[in-house]
Amino acid sequence: MAGDAPGGSRRDRNVAPCRLGSAVGRRRLGQIWAQVRPARVRTGGTGTKISKKTDASLALSWSGGKDSALALLALRAELGRNPSALITTVTETYERISMHGVRRELLALQAQELGLPLVEVSIPLGCPNETYDARMHEVFASERLGQVTEVAFGDLFLEDVRAYREGRLGAAGKRGLFPLWGRDTVQLARDFISAGFQAVLVCVDPRKLDRTFAGRSYDERLLADLPTGVDPCGENGEFHTFVYGGLILRRPIARALGDIVERDGFLFADLQVSPQS
């Protein structure tokens, strides 16, 4: 349930709801900066440490990409909820985020700058549904996620993916939460960029998008270059991203772009940890 499926509310009284994609939401992005940034420690004049409280009943399926980042922003800014953990599937053979192909070292840095615990779910290459379900069951039965009753996802409009997630969660006695569901993907893409997020395309499906898009920055120029029929958020699997800077991160993640490689029918931009990290 975390990341790509195989094959395929309480409010914080200090945070006013702000719907991403609306004119009011875009105006308020700057105002809510401090409230939606990661649970970080601030020291006042008395030396008192203040951090944002997490919701033990909520976890976030985390792929490392822009939709996950926007989902986290929406949870914090609109619902006043901060997940207690990030759940990410990692392919054992490659030691990288499943489908996205991002190295585990960069994932760990991302979680660190988000200020949230990371729960990795290791799955084999070409993971069958039975194995996937068994691994997820083990994770949810663990002490780290023992109190979780809801899992949030950054899905936008694919009904079959949502139905799969809800079905598997329901079988485990848990619920799915989809804070971005039904949003206009054109506006979401623009909001992501105008909010100051920084991301790079780490995986491209060459059957849907030219191979030169692999490794490009996700910015206004890229949106303008997308061919007709390609979703600006890549919701149909045209591309995947890695977020390395923006509202929800304490600091930008220093990274270096390595080779562009083709594997299993997809093009991957091999991001590496920069020595500056």
Q: Write out pLDDT tens, residues 56-89.
A: 999 999 999 999 999 999 999 999 999 999 999 9
DSSP 139: H
264 belongs to a structural domain:
yes
Whether 214 and 267 have beta carbons less than 8 Å apart is answered as yes
Sequence-distant (6+) residues with CB within 8 A of 26 are: 20, 191, 194, 195
Range of the domain at 253: 52-273
22 belongs to a structural domain:
no
Give residue 34's pLDDT.
41
Give residue 275's pLDDT.
78
94 belongs to a structural domain:
yes
78 belongs to a structural domain:
yes
Q: Write out pLDDT tens, residues 148-189.
A: 999 999 999 999 999 999 998 998 899 999 999 999 999 999
121 belongs to a structural domain:
yes
Helix (H) or strand (E) holding 24: helix 23-28
Q: Write out pLDDT tens, residues 8-64.
A: 333 332 333 445 554 444 444 544 434 444 443 332 333 323 236 889 999 999 999
176 belongs to a structural domain:
yes
pTM value? 0.83
Strands (DSSP E) contained in the chain are 42-43, 49-50, 55-61, 83-91, 96-97, 118-123, 150-152, 175-177, 198-204, 239-245, 255-263, 266-273
41 belongs to a structural domain:
no
Cα separation, 189 vs 237, in Å, equals: 15
39 belongs to a structural domain:
no
Nearest to 69 by CA among 223, 246, 260: 246
Q: Write out pLDDT tens, residues 193-224.
A: 999 999 999 999 999 999 999 999 999 999 99
**DSSP characters for 63-95?**
-SSHHHHHHHHHHHHHS---EEEEEEEEETTTT
The CATH number of the domain where 265 resides is what?
A: 3.40.50.620
Q: What is the domain count for the chain?
A: 1
Give residue 26's pLDDT.
46
Mean pLDDT of the chain: 85
